[in-house]
Structures are given as C-alpha cells and as structure tokens.
Amino acid sequence: MGLFDEYIPDPPLDCPVCGSPLNRWQGKDGPNALMVWRQGCAGPVDQRVPEELRLDPGELAKLRLPGQFTIYTQCCGGRFFVEARCRTEDGIWAQTDLMTAENAVQKTRESRGDFEARLRWLRGVNH
C-alpha cells in the first residue's frame, strides 16, 4: 500500500559519492507500518502514526526485522537512491553495508541504462 518503515543506521552513514551525512532511510522489507528501526535494537523504537493507530507497546516490542533487508535514501540532488544492505543477528539489526560501484546490483525494476547511470554516479568523485 505504499507504506514503508524508517531506518536509523548506527553509526550513521555518509553518501559514498558526495560524503554528505545520510538520513531519512526507508525500506520495504519490514512490516511497512511506519515503524522506526534503529541499528542495535531488536524491536522498533517508534511508530510514526497518530496515537490511535499505534500498535500497543507489547505488540510493537515483538516485531522483528528479517535476516537480510535493504534500505535506501536519496542524496546528490535526488536522482539516485543510495542503498545499503543490512543483516540481523539473533533478530537484532547488526550490520549495514553501503552499496558502492563495486557491489551494486541491478534492481528488478531498473533498466540496464538506469543501472549503468547509477554506477557512473556511484563511481563519481571517489573513483
């Protein structure tokens, strides 16, 4: 339904291209209910919905992220998404790896041309 969750990597990450701090990470691999997940915490740390729509704290605390998930945010003028692959250990978000020109993969709904444009952007100033 177009919903997503919000993600807070800890430590925070910088854009692999321009070096700006990245924030407002989103992802669609969790419950997609406007949860806020913070790296290092098992359950969501918040839910960005009006009070009357919030899950009760007991239900909220039981939610977990999948073993692997992808998050993304915009940077460099918003034409491309910076992506990161994340992993949980024992149900807790443990690792976040920024996708760079070296490890980026073409997305299912991304054309070859768009993927190549994204790779050129990722190679940007660092390479």
Query: Which of 8, 65, 75, 122 contacts Zn ion by CB under 5 A?
Result: 75
Ranges of H-type helices in the chain: 57-62, 112-123
CA distances from 115 to 62, 81, 110, 119 (A): 37, 11, 6, 6
Q: Looking at 14-22, 55-63, 66-74, 115-123, which segment touches Zn ion (CB under 5 A)?
A: 14-22
Binding mask 22-61 for Zn ion (x = CB under 5 A): ----------------------------------------
Nearer to Zn ion, 20 or 68 (CB): 20
**C-beta of residue 29 within 8 angstroms of C-beta of residue 38:** no
What is the β-pairing status of strands 5-8 and 35-38?
Answer: parallel
Q: Under rule CB under 5 A, how many of the chain's residues touch Zn ion?
A: 6
Residues within the interface to Zn ion (CB under 5 A): 15, 17-18, 20, 75-76
